[in-house]
Structure 1
Amino acid sequence: MKTLLFCTSYLKDADAWQTRCQRWLDYYRNGPIKADRIVMIDDGSPYLPPAETIPTVPAGEDLSTHDATHCIVRFEENLGRQSMSCYPGWWRSFLHSVTIARALGANKIVHIESDAYTLSRRLTDFINDTRSGWHVMWAQRYALPETAIQIICRDQFDALERFRDTHPDMDFPDIAERLLPFTSVNRQFKGDRYSEFKRNRGIFRSRKFNALPIFQKDFFWEPIPHDADFATQVVKRQKVAFRDA
């Protein structure tokens, strides 16, 4: 089964590349997800890494004519994000994945955002072994589907294209978690947006203390649990490690 692994991307500078996208690429290009191509679909970033690090291909080109195992597919115009529920740049990049998959003859699309990490063998085995359906994870604390990790098999490519074609202006009425026509929400895997969860700070729990440098230290934030299958919205201070068990 030929698999496309992709994330969406926006790089404002070299630091954004090194601390987020380079970190993601280093993790997955030799990691447990079996992928024939690894692609970052970019929303008109002002910064691009050197070509010798990763090549960049214009979004309008046929990726099948390029032999790079991993690359950036870049839209020239930045659409960006206007609000929490209005993010046309992400939508355009995400929906372009099926065009790339068709061009490459892929049987499966694996979408893992550039701040999301699969951490356990049981989850990566599920991703690698899945042959049908459109699967997302479950964000436990928020009680919402987690669309930062998705498996979209070939039998769902038509559904993805129909969804894309009904929104040509990239104007969506709600967030992706409530709109995408996925077929399965997989609650058996443990994971969440752990970077957002603070420890109990007792009398210092008020938000007014957040600006103090001491409360930015790792101790005051919940760590990624040792038995987590995945973590999303991972930030620089968080360490991630694959658990081969």
Structure 2
Amino acid sequence: MSKKSLAEGPQRTLLFCTSFALCGDIWTGRYRRWLEGIRRGGLEYDQILLVDDCSPVAPPNWSGLVIVPADGAPAPHADLVMARFDTHLGKREGGGYSTSLGWFRSFGYAAEYARAGGFDRIVHIESDTFVLSRRLEIFLNRVGAGWTALWCPRHGFPEDNIQVIAGRSIDDCLAFFGRPYADFSAAEIEKQYPFTDIGIEFVGDRYGEYRLDVPVNADFVAQALDYPEIPEQYFWWLPRHSLAAPKRPPLRSRRSSEHDVACAYNLFLSRNPESPHTVQEKVGATIIEMIGVLIASREFRQDVLPKILNGWGFDYRGSNRLDTLKDWLLRVLSWSPEAGAAIVAAGTTASLVCEILKHPEVVPHWATPALAPSGGYRQTA
């Protein structure tokens, strides 16, 4: 069934990905997993579309899937559709930065399909990409105009695996993909989209390119690992997997992971540590206490903090929205209200982080700032 919020108005949303499968296992693995992530998540849509680059195997036998030729036929009235090309373009060898020609054709077709079907919004979530947090779902659901993408810290360019194209920007999308493919060979295509907005405040990256797990504080993951031997625990955010609802040990015995404390530190660091009262007024004493529990640990001071300040393995960009800090801590650490009250009652504080910032000589050196987007984008943070 489609997911539509009546409070958001009459806009119709098409959510799509591109597809190509060399064997049936890819349908039951990668694409079924993607579909479950969409259906179990909170993104709003009226129809899900897969645009297939003429896969050599039969389409998946999914309940409710309607298969149509990618020939400009009207969009069917169905919740789940696959449009299949009768020729395969795939990837072509050549110089420059050009990406898959098959992907390029499929994306352009999705825009044409949306316009012909009367859709007002296009949400693109690539098949190896997942939206992990409720705050990112809310952000994407509220985009009603413009061409929005996220940010890829690893490469320092907009993350095109997650996009929302709405209103008049659908015309811009049609014009963009209507150009000759060769026009885009001079630079990475991620740098050439006419994006109007970049959501830089969300934590995420193409983690599959350089690590074997997905941080628990991430809002999204792009280019997630996809091979038969990958353990199901990798997809901890999917409810059907064993780690979807993990049983937490008692709070006293739980040690914060490197990912937890790294993100907590960066979130705190993005405020003014010399004015703790101002911070406390904005986020509340309870949140200051929760952060204090993390940063006061020996693990954080002796192991994690030096690595953070050396820029080792952490690409986190602290959120600029103070009202998301509490939600992040409660979500990542799974602290109940009772556990939070117990932390506050314990009397621990965040004074340690202020002392560290006043005396940076306790660590080797400060990390260099992370790459930030430039150009004509409107940043949402």
TM-score normalised over the length of structure 1: 0.83
Structure 1 counterpart of 2:80, which letter?
H
Structure (1 or 2) with the larger CA radius of gyration: 2
2 CA distance for matches of 1:175 and 1:46? 29
Comparing both structures, which one devotes a greater share of its residues to strand? 1
Aligned CA distance change for structure 1 residues 118 and 52 (closer, same or farther; 3 Å):
closer
**1:172 match:** 184
State the shift of 1:53 in Å.
6.0
Q: How far apart are the structure 2 equivalents of 1:28 and 1:101?
A: 18
Matched, 1:50 2:61: yes
Q: Deviations over 1:83-141 (max 9, x none)?
A: 46341100000111111111221110000000000000110001111111101111112
Is 2:83 the counterpart of 1:87?
no
1:227 aligns with 2:238: no
Distance 2:127 2:62 in 1: 19
User: Which of 90, 114, 117 pairs up with 1:104?
Assistant: 117
Q: Distance in 1 between matches of 2:135 and 2:25?
A: 32
Distance 1:131 1:159 in 2: 15
Give the distance between the partners of 2:236 and 2:15, measured in 1 at CA.
Answer: 19
Mapped to 2, the partners of 1:164 and 1:56 lie a distance apart of: 23
Task: Return the letter of the residue paired with 2:146.
Answer: G
Match of 1:162 among 163, 175, 190: 175
Q: How does 1:8-157 map to 2 (within 5 A)?
A: 8-47=18-57, 48-50=59-61, 52=63, 54-64=65-75, 66-83=76-93, 85-157=98-170
Q: Contact 1:111/1:150 (CA < 8 Å) preserved in 2?
A: yes
RMSD across aligned positions (CA)? 2.0
- Structure 1 residue runs of 4+, over 6 Å off? none
Take 1:181 and 1:172, find their aligned partners in 2: how far apart are those partners? Answer: 13
Gaps of 5+ in 2: 1-10, 239-243, 245-326, 332-381
Query: 226-235 vs 78-87, which deviates more?
Result: 78-87
- AA in 2 matched with 1:235: L
The answer to whether the 8 Å contact 1:116/1:233 transfers is: yes
SS of residue in 2 equivalent to 1:55: strand
Higher RCO structure (Cα 8 Å, ≥6 apart): 1
Which 5+ residue runs of structure 1 have no aligned equivalent?
Answer: 199-220
Check the 8 A contact 1:9/1:43 in 2, yes or no: yes
Would the aligned equivalents of 1:29 and 1:38 in 2 still touch at CA under 8 Å? no
Which one has a larger percent helix, Structure 1 or Structure 2? Answer: 2
**Residue of structure 2 equivalent to 1:192:** 205
CA distance in 1, matches of 2:148, 2:63: 34
Distance in 2 (alpha carbons) for counterparts of 1:75 and 1:156: 25
Provide the identity percentage.
Answer: 38
Distance 1:51 1:115, change over 3 A: closer
2-structure distance, mates of 1:7, 1:35: 13
The whole-number CA distance in structure 1 between the counterparts of 2:191 and 2:35 is 28
User: Is 2:196 aligned against 1:183?
Assistant: yes
Give CA-to-partner distance per residue, 1:150-203, whole Å, 9 cap, x none: 000022011112212222x566314320221111221111101112224xxxxx
The one-letter amino acid of 1:67's match is: H
